Chain A
Amino acid sequence: MVLQMAQSITPIREVEADNDQILVDRVRLGDRHAFDLLVLKHQSRLLTLVTRFIPNRSDALDVLQDTFVKAYRSLHAFRGESAFYSWLYRIAVNTAKNHIAIRRKESRDISVSDEASDVERFAVFQDTGSPDEEAGADELQMAILDAIERLPEDLQRALTLRELEGLSYHEIALAMNCPIGTVRSRIFRARDQVVQEINERFPGTFL
């Protein structure tokens, strides 16, 4: 029902373009902190995208790093005609494809008779990250989900409508039959509680 309501109202992505553009403008003026915010915002989505091409987490991180460095250097070319994420998406896909091509060429150059090289090559394509990293990330995600579960219902609902359904504040206000200011306040309080709880359980996680 909420989804049907969302489809009947204005498209969500149209609302989303402006804040990123302001951040981009600040980066162009030399504000590296603004670029940090952009990286932090889009890194998880882009990592999911890149790992579809490159399952190896370490390589995927390298590709992602290259993606953001390329984006920073060619930010003057971003004209704001599309969303910033779409622009980043294209850079990430191209970088991932180039990475795969280079790796294929390198693997062809490796001598087939060298067993050590075979093992190394196998590791390169099969490794998906260290077990510790995986376990830590999983634990953090579980803690976040637990914290969200414990939120009061109105806060939880506002947060999930925003994060899972992608509704704008206006749409959530219509769905929850409350003012936009209340929606904003609820979403903020929900996030604030979760972040506080994670910082208490895992100090220094987001540093």
Chain B
Amino acid sequence: MTEALRNSLSALVDQEATEFEVRKTLDAVKGQPELKSYWCGCQAISGTLNGDDLLGMTLVNRVNSELDEVSSAGASTPKVNVKFLPAREVLPSRFGALIGQLAIAASVAFAVVVGVKVIAPIEMQSVVSSNESLEFIKFQLPGSKEKVSSQIVSGDFDGGSTRPMARILTEQDVKRMVSERLSSYLVRHAENTAVVGGTSVLPLARIMGHDEPIQ
């Protein structure tokens, strides 16, 4: 118990010690019980001058023993068999996390590819039944509804297996078909006009919207 430590304790009694002194003194008190006795003596002087009752170390020992009793009672309570679930494992590293993300991405991509391969033909099949013809109303001439039948084709679509497939007509196909049919009409009409010598109806056909050049 050095004089410097006693000096610091005296300052601590008066709340005048610096923070460094307080910490240093507290560290010293742990290893030197006589410092606690010195502190007790200083407090006894203070208590005497203020007319308070003196207690010494009696109360401290009682409080400590009760606190120890409570803590030991807590420690000696019967142990309950509790099986703890294993803690959630932490990913080993960032590399592991990256691998996990890649695996998820790969599985999603695989599902998409399989879906396209498997589900799309089935949908197409469900739309077009084998012997049923599709009717596409593509355009209407005044006073008549033109019906276009889909062509049912059979071909080597799926590894040589023969099954009826619907050919979906694109706009180009429709235009081509219309042009072919209209061309034949126009040719016939031109022939008739040449024979009869009347007014051509070609301008009328253009007014009806078929003004595209006939191939």
Chain A residues close to B by CB (< 8 Å): 15-20, 22-23, 26, 31-34, 36-37, 39-41, 43-45, 47-48, 51, 57, 61, 64-65, 68-69, 72, 137, 140-141, 144-145, 148, 159-160, 162-164, 168-169, 184-185, 187-188, 191-192, 194-195, 198-199, 205-207
The number of chain B residues touching the other chain, given as a range, is 35 or more
Residue of B14, B30, B43 touching A169 (CB-CB under 8 A): B14
Residues of chain B contacted by A141 (CB below 8 angstroms): 48, 54
Residues of chain A contacted by B48 (CB below 8 angstroms): 140-141, 144-145
Q: Which of chain B's residues 17-76 have a Cβ closer than 8 Å to chain A?
A: 17, 19, 22-23, 26, 29-30, 36-60, 62-64, 66-67, 70
Count of chain A to chain B residue pairs whose CB atoms are closer than 8 Å in the complex: 156
Assess the B26–A26 pair: CB atoms within 8 A.
yes
Given A39-B59, A39-B63, A163-B50, check contact A34 B26 (CB 8 Å): yes
Assess the A162–B14 pair: CB atoms within 8 A.
yes
The 20 listed contacts between A and B (C-beta, < 8 Å) are A15-B16, A19-B12, A19-B17, A31-B30, A36-B36, A36-B64, A40-B39, A41-B43, A43-B55, A43-B60, A61-B59, A65-B59, A163-B46, A163-B49, A163-B50, A184-B16, A185-B7, A188-B11, A194-B41, A195-B38
Beyond contacts A69-B70, A188-B10: 10 other A-B pairs, Cβ-Cβ < 8 A, are A19-B12, A31-B26, A36-B64, A68-B59, A69-B63, A144-B45, A159-B45, A168-B16, A195-B45, A207-B37
Residues of chain A contacted by B7 (CB below 8 angstroms): 184-185, 188
Q: How far is the CB of A139 from chain B (nearest CB, A)?
A: 10
Assess the A65–B62 pair: CB atoms within 8 A.
yes
B15 CB–A CB distance under 8 Å: yes
Interface of A is mostly: helix
Assess the B42–A195 pair: CB atoms within 8 A.
yes
Assess the A206–B16 pair: CB atoms within 8 A.
no
Q: How far is the CB of A130 from chain B (nearest CB, A)?
A: 13
Q: How far is the CA of A111 from the CA of B197 in the complex (A)?
A: 144
